[in-house]
Chain A
Amino acid sequence: NAGVTQTPKFQVLKTGQSMTLQCAQDMNHEYMSWYRQDPGMGLRLIHYSVGAGITDQGEVPNGYNVSRSTTEDFPLRLLSAAPSQTSVYFCASSQWYLAGPRDGELFFGEGSRLTVL
């Protein structure tokens, strides 16, 4: 059982370049989200999705774009990378439902470490 898979694990970009962080889950979870982790700041929510075709902004959405065409995949796009986007990115999924939570546990990927020069 693979759970949540993120690729790539490491990436170095130059300022202004664009890239996509991939996230896939095989647990049929409706809810998926992206967080960034920075020292002393915990995890901050970038974007999330409660189902295919539905996305919404989190705490720090600027400079990032998402889409959810399937239940399994939730890619995160950096449109024009900036040094401030150097961080560790985590994708997470869970079995939340709008009518009430079935399960509150977020399942995390192993993270993608991004450096923007």
Chain B
Amino acid sequence: AQSVTQLGSHVSVSEGALVLLRCNYSSSVPPYLFWYVQYPNQGLQLLLKYTTGATLVKGINGFEAEFKKSETSFHLTKPSAHMSDAAEYFCAVSPSNTGKLIFGQGTTLQVKP
């Protein structure tokens, strides 16, 4: 069975500081991995995804994530936080070729001026 654990339900950073949101997954087959962002009272939007190939994935809004199979991790980073990055972020895993996404519990990112 697949599962996702996001370490830290709330992360607070200062504007301009590094953003690091942690995600560890469990999957019995090669996983597809995703990060989604949810702004207040909205649905989720895709930030980036890893399916195959290059393990460093670049997404929208300056975010990137690295797939590390040995650590079963897919942490999300951004070099410099912006006030508009304040939102809830979800990591998700899907066993390849199924379409089912299993989401983590979510991490709320607060950006302080």
Taking Cβ atoms with an 8 Å cutoff, the residues of A that contact B are: 4, 31, 33, 35, 40-45, 48, 50, 58-59, 90, 92, 94, 96, 98-101, 104-106, 108-111
Q: Is the CB of B100 within 8 A of A101?
A: no
Separation of A92 and B105 alpha carbons in the complex (Å): 18
Question: Residue of A at shortest CB range from B32?
Answer: A104
Question: Residue of B at shortest CB range from A9?
Answer: B41
Contacts of A33 in B (CB 8 A): 99-101
Contacts of A42 in B (CB 8 A): 6, 90, 103-106
**B110, chain A: closest CB distance, angstroms:** 16
Separation of A48 and B101 alpha carbons in the complex (Å): 10
Contacts of B25 in A (CB 8 A): none
Residues of B in contact with A, size category? 20 to 34
**A58, chain B: closest CB distance, angstroms:** 7
Contacts of A109 in B (CB 8 A): 43
Contacting residue for B99 out of A40, A48, A90, CB 8 A: A48
**A32, chain B: closest CB distance, angstroms:** 10
A-facing residues in B3-46 (Cβ within 8 Å):
6, 9, 32, 34, 36, 41-46
Q: Is the CB of B104 within 8 A of A106?
A: no
B102 sits at the interface (CB 8 A): yes
Q: Is the CB of A59 within 8 A of B102?
A: yes
Q: A43-B103, A98-B97 in contact; A104/B49 too (CB < 8 A)?
A: yes
B77 sits at the interface (CB 8 A): no
